[in-house]
């Protein structure tokens, strides 16, 4: 191609709109007609992006820089301090992991504070929605449950979670170690990447990569892997405590894409990641239906965007309006009355579009404000009151809609979500109650299905939105792979109508089809048929996938690197995705990434990520931007593992 050697790999879109999502295409036409700027315009305006930054060889860690490492020999091949490309690339990379771990654990910390306030009696609006999960979790963590009050048990669980944030004693973080099979526990201890806490690990990573500290790329990368496991500690806290407070997800029917934003309703989008506020907004919306009707609407319609959307979809069946790259499109419908945001993946540009419409943008968390948005500090002591204020702001805004600006989307697709590890255990358990996951592993060993793939990650406009998520999914299911999904990958499938039973008929290979039908026959109690791809939840719920791969490992009597299980993030974007990918590799999983992380400036680091990681942890990165080739590489990885398993059986 004519790409300059240093330029970022941007996949040329097949249509000029850079998206394949039909709802987004409808709204982009509205944007163009009205000359409204969106992320799709800004992406083009940024081209060509900086080649040094893209390759990870721009160092801005100290004020002597920025240093750009050049390909030629001599002094320009190093930074001013003498740092080589491999040092700079590895430092930059692991600082992204630190950012990801900080983000996921900040989300978890908020859920934890809420649980703690419940224990302290400081909030009346939350409850232990799932005592069953609380007991299961406590037992896993080694906390006594016999003849104890639930609040007392939750008190001990929250204390232990707080310790996991700040422990200085030399013992592994409980919210990771208690979830690990023995082989991974030993591996992480032996390679010195087992984190004892979250906050200290993130801090250590920043210190390790400061100017004039660690220059050894291998040591830096190992520090990064420890950071990625600290990210997983945060995810385990986030997922498990959310299940305790808001319930364990169970199969649930809903709809997705921008058509779920309805003209006759007061529409509130909840966007970001944290279920602590948005769960309250759902409750407040139910309570304030009469007020919405008084204003002329039929009721209040809560719709989700990004992972807050996934959290609410999984537990409440709330409609999923859209995913990250198309978040602005919700406003362009002209009938979105409020955009309520918490943290992460929220474009600051939203206020710019809200200004052109009647839509109120409201930020709710102390660390997340946007100029031009109204800030309503959300407090768990006054949670329901705060949520009602938000709903009332939306009802007021509803009255100011401009009929000339209404441009509804017609795209909405049915879906089935809610597949927590508990839900999967129940479904498989109807076939084999003693050993539920043998249902999955036996199907792999018999050749009925080819393995399991966890599809995760974001949107990244270096690719056409959602195209590669969908292309890889279709290739996998056609080849009889059982697919689970999280985050904006799950969002893509939901929006495109691929997360329902009709899609099984249309896209699954014969083996996968028969496997899913077999599960349905064994589960007549389910009020719905099963989907083509199983929604595990939000970004933090990638932890559920780690439970799944380890349950399969236990069933097979092997360590995770032997399990026919792979991961794929075709459009990785956020620092969190770098952290997730890195812990997947540490967990022994072949991990495909379709948008390049900033590491091509060092062959050594590229080699560590794709090969040496495999020698040490049994998992490795598969960097592949071509989706057809990527699907084939994932299938090959599964096939190789299955072949080896069969030989040793």
Beta bridge partners of 361: 339
Query: Between 488 and 634, whose beta carbon lies closer to ligand XCC?
Result: 488
**Cβ neighbours of residue 629 closer than 8 Å, sequence gap 6 or more:** none
Quick check: 578 binds ligand XCC (CB under 6 A)? no
Query: Between 564 and 581, whose beta carbon lies closer to ligand XCC?
Result: 581
**Contact stretch for ligand XCC (CB under 6 A) within 65-73, 296-304, 520-528, 574-582:** 574-582
Sheet strands side by side (includes 266-272)? 374-375, 360-363, 336-341, 266-272, 300-305, 319-322, 252-256, 413-417
Pick one of 341, 458, 596, 631: the residue that binds ligand XCC (CB under 6 A): 458
Quick check: 330 binds ligand XCC (CB under 6 A)? no
Quick check: 239 binds ligand XCC (CB under 6 A)? no
Phi, psi of 313 (to 5 degrees): -60, -45
Burial status of residue 407 (CB atoms within 10 A of its CB: 0-12, 13-18, 19 or more)? middle
- Residues numbered 262 to 301 that lie near ligand XCC (CB under 6 A) are 273
Contact by Cβ (8 Å): 563, 556 = yes
For the record, the structure tokens of 451 come out as 């393995």
Pick one of 449, 488, 503, 556: the residue that binds ligand XCC (CB under 6 A): 488
Least distance from C-beta 46 to ligand XCC, angstroms?
18
Per-residue burial over 176-208, b = 16 or more CB atoms within 10 Å of its CB, e = otherwise: bbbbbbebbbebbeeeebbbbbbbbbbebbbeb
Pick one of 223, 249, 451, 487: the residue that binds ligand XCC (CB under 6 A): 487
**SS3 annotation, 206-249:** HHHCCCCCCCCHHHHHHHHHHHHHHHHHHHHHHHHHHHHHHCCC
Query: Between 225 and 343, whose beta carbon lies closer to ligand XCC?
Result: 343
Count of positions on this chain that bind ligand XCC (CB under 6 A): 16
Least distance from C-beta 285 to ligand XCC, angstroms?
22
Pick one of 89, 134, 306, 585: the residue that binds ligand XCC (CB under 6 A): 306
CA distance 15 to 17: 5
For the record, the structure tokens of 525 come out as 């109690």
Phi, psi of 12 (to 5 degrees): -65, 130
Query: Between 133 and 576, whose beta carbon lies closer to ligand XCC?
Result: 576
**Contact stretch for ligand XCC (CB under 6 A) within 82-90, 276-284, 332-340, 457-465:** 457-465
Least distance from C-beta 121 to ligand XCC, angstroms?
32
**Contact stretch for ligand XCC (CB under 6 A) within 332-340, 390-398, 404-412, 573-581:** 573-581
**Cβ neighbours of residue 366 closer than 8 Å, sequence gap 6 or more:** 377
Q: Is 58 helix (H, G, I), strand (E, B) or coil?
A: strand
Least distance from C-beta 537 to ligand XCC, angstroms?
10
Fill in the per-residue mask, 489 to 528: x = in contact with ligand XCC (CB under 6 A), - = not in contact: ----------------------------------------
Pick one of 119, 153, 285, 345: the residue that binds ligand XCC (CB under 6 A): 345
Least distance from C-beta 570 to ligand XCC, angstroms?
11
Phi, psi of 86 (to 5 degrees): -65, -35
Q: Which residues bind ligand XCC (CB under 6 A)?
A: 273, 306-307, 324, 345, 457-459, 487-488, 538-539, 573-574, 576-577
């Amino acid at each position: 191609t004519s790409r300059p050697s240093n330029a970022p790999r941007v996949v040329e879109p097949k249509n000029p709109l850079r998206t394949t999502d039909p709802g987004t295409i409808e709204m982009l036409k509205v944007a163009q007609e009205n000359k409204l700027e969106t992320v799709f315009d800004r992406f083009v305006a940024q081209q060509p992006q900086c080649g040094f930054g893209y390759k990870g060889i721009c160092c801005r860690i100290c004020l002597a820089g920025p240093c750009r490492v050049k390909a030629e020999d001599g002094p320009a091949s190093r930074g001013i301090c003498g740092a080589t490309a491999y040092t700079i690339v590895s430092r930059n990379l692991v600082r992204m992991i630190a950012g990801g771990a900080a983000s996921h654990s900040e989300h978890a910390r908020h859920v934890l504070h809420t649980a703690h306030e419940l224990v302290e009696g400081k909030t009346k609006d939350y409850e232990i929605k799932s005592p069953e999960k609380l007991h299961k979790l406590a037992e896993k963590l080694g906390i006594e449950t016999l003849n104890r009050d639930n609040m007392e048990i939750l008190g001990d669980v929250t204390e232990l979670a707080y310790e996991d944030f700040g422990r200085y004693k030399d013992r592994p973080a409980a919210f990771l170690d208690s979830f690990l099979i023995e082989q991974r526990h030993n591996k992480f201890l032996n390679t010195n990447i087992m984190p004892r806490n979250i906050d200290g690990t993130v801090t250590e990573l920043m210190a390790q990569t400061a100017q004039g500290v660690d220059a050894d790329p291998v040591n830096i990368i190992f520090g990064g892997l420890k950071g990625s496991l600290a990210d997983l500690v945060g995810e385990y806290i986030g997922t498990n405590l959310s299940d305790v407070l808001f319930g364990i997800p169970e199969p649930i029917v809903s709809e997705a894409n921008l058509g779920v934003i309805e003209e006759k309703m007061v529409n509130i989008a909840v966007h970001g990641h944290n279920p602590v506020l948005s769960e309250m907004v759902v409750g407040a919306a139910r309570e304030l239906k009469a007020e919405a009707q008084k204003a002329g609407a039929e009721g209040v319609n809560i719709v989700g965007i990004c992972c807050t959307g996934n959290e609410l979809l999984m537990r409440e069946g709330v409609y999923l309006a859209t995913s990250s790259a198309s978040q602005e499109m919700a406003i362009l419908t002209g009938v979105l009355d409020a955009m309520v945001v918490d943290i992460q993946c929220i474009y600051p540009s939203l206020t710019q579009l809200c200004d052109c419409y009647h839509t109120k943008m409201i930020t709710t968390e102390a660390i997340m404000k946007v100029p031009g948005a109204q800030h309503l500090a959300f407090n768990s002591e006054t949670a329901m009151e705060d949520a009602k204020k938000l709903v009332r702001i939306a009802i007021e805004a509803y009255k100011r809609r401009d009929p000339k600006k209404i441009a509804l989307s017609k795209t909405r697709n049915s879906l089935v979500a809610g597949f927590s590890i508990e839900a999967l255990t129940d479904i498989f358990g109807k076939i084999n109650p003693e050993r539920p996951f043998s249902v999955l592993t036996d199907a792999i060993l018999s050749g009925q299905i080819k393995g399991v793939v966890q599809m995760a990650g974001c949107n990244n406009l270096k690719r056409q939105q959602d195209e590669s998520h969908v292309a890889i999914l279709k290739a996998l299911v056609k080849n009889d792979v059982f697919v689970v999904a999280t985050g904006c990958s799950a969002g893509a499938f939901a929006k495109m109508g691929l997360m329902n039973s009709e899609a099984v008929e249309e896209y699954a290979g014969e083996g996968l089809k028969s496997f899913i039908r077999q599960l349905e026959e064994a589960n007549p109690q389910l009020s719905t048929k099963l989907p083509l791809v199983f929604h595990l939840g939000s970004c933090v719920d990638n932890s559920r996938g780690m439970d799944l791969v380890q349950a399969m490992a236990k069933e097979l009597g092997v360590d995770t690197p032997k399990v026919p299980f792979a991961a794929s993030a075709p459009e990785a974007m956020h620092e969190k995705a770098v952290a997730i990918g890195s812990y997947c590799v540490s967990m022994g999983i072949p991990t495909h990434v379709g948008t390049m992380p900033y590491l091509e400036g060092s062959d050594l680091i590229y080699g560590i990520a794709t090969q040496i990681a495999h020698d040490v942890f049994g998992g490795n990165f598969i960097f592949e931007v071509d989706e057809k080739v990527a699907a084939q590489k994932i299938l090959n990885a599964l096939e190789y593992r299955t072949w080896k398993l069969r030989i040793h059986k």
